[in-house]
Amino acid sequence: MGRFQTSDGLQLAYDDNGQGPVLLCLAGLTRNRRDFDELAAAITGVRLISMDYRGRGQSDFDADPMNYQIPVEARDALELLDHLGVEKAAIIGISRGGLIGMVLAATAKHRLTGILLVDVGPELDRKDLGRIVDYVGINPPFKDFDEALKVFPAMNPGFRGVSKEVWSRTLDRTFRQTDDGLVIRYDPQLRISVRAVFDGPEPDLWPFFDACAGLPLALLRGANSELLKPKTVTKMQARRSDMLYAEVPDRGHTPFLDEPESLRIITQFIGQIT
């Protein structure tokens, strides 16, 4: 693990492994860089960089929770590339990471070689998004990992055939053990900025998707995802007929990226950026 300092003084954590075309991996809203560990182990011939956003994982918390915003996180991503001396990178963006990728396409396209969106698009189901917003910043009701593991699969009905080992790994990346039970691995104050955005005017994200024009583009969707609807995928394909697309069966929001379908489209995408 490495650390770098942002322009406003925070220390953010990152991993940097391999050699070859650069893939900058951006995690979901409350997630962290460890979600890309299996991908890093499964693919070769690339340089895979992943980061913990401010307030997540092993990065510093921000004193101002309103800085937990996509434009700020996009700036942090560019500053990480600058820190590493990387001129251009392709984005693999899971959920919020994909939104950051689209913002970068609109504001810093010259730094990108392509974008792979994971279970995210310019239209997101408001009901499912609200469900996500409701749990941000809330510690789970579990005293330990053993208790959590007994009920976590049932709490995620869109995922089928997931091994106990994978669920255990997911829980360990999501929570940490304390004397008072499991707690989240991110700043609870993230809830403030997320709620403010959700309760505000609904933004039109299609211009950001259209900003990806001229870049290799791919989309990976969990077949059981409620957040990214098939009708949105159809609209995305109509605007970008060259967009690579795959669905991962028995997965909701979001695939783990180690499934055969995930690795297949990621490999195809790498072929387009090299």
The torsion angle over the Cα atoms of residues 213, 91, 6 and 58, rounded to 10 degrees, is 150
> What is the value of pTM for the model shown?
0.97
- The correct answer on CATH 3.40.50.1820 for the domain covering 2-136+190-273 is yes
> For 90-118, how does the pLDDT look when each residue is reduced to its tens digit (9 = 90+)?
999 999 999 999 999 999 999 999 999 99
Q: Where are the domains of the chain?
A: 2-136+190-273, 138-185
Confidence at residue 194, expressed as pLDDT on a 0 to 100 scale? 97
Residue 274: its pLDDT value, please?
A: 80
List the pLDDT tens digit at each of the 274 positions of the chain. Answer: 999 999 999 999 999 999 999 999 999 999 999 999 999 999 999 999 999 999 999 999 999 999 999 999 999 999 999 999 999 999 999 999 999 999 999 999 999 999 999 999 999 999 999 999 999 999 999 999 999 999 999 999 999 999 999 999 999 999 999 999 999 999 999 999 999 999 999 999 999 999 999 999 999 999 999 999 999 999 999 999 999 999 999 999 999 999 999 999 999 999 999 8
Helix ranges restricted to H, 85-239 = 96-107, 126-135, 145-155, 164-174, 190-199, 206-210, 230-239
pLDDT in tens, 233-263: 999 999 999 999 999 999 999 999 999 999 9
Instruction: Tell me what percent of the residues of the chain surpass a pLDDT of 70.
Output: 100
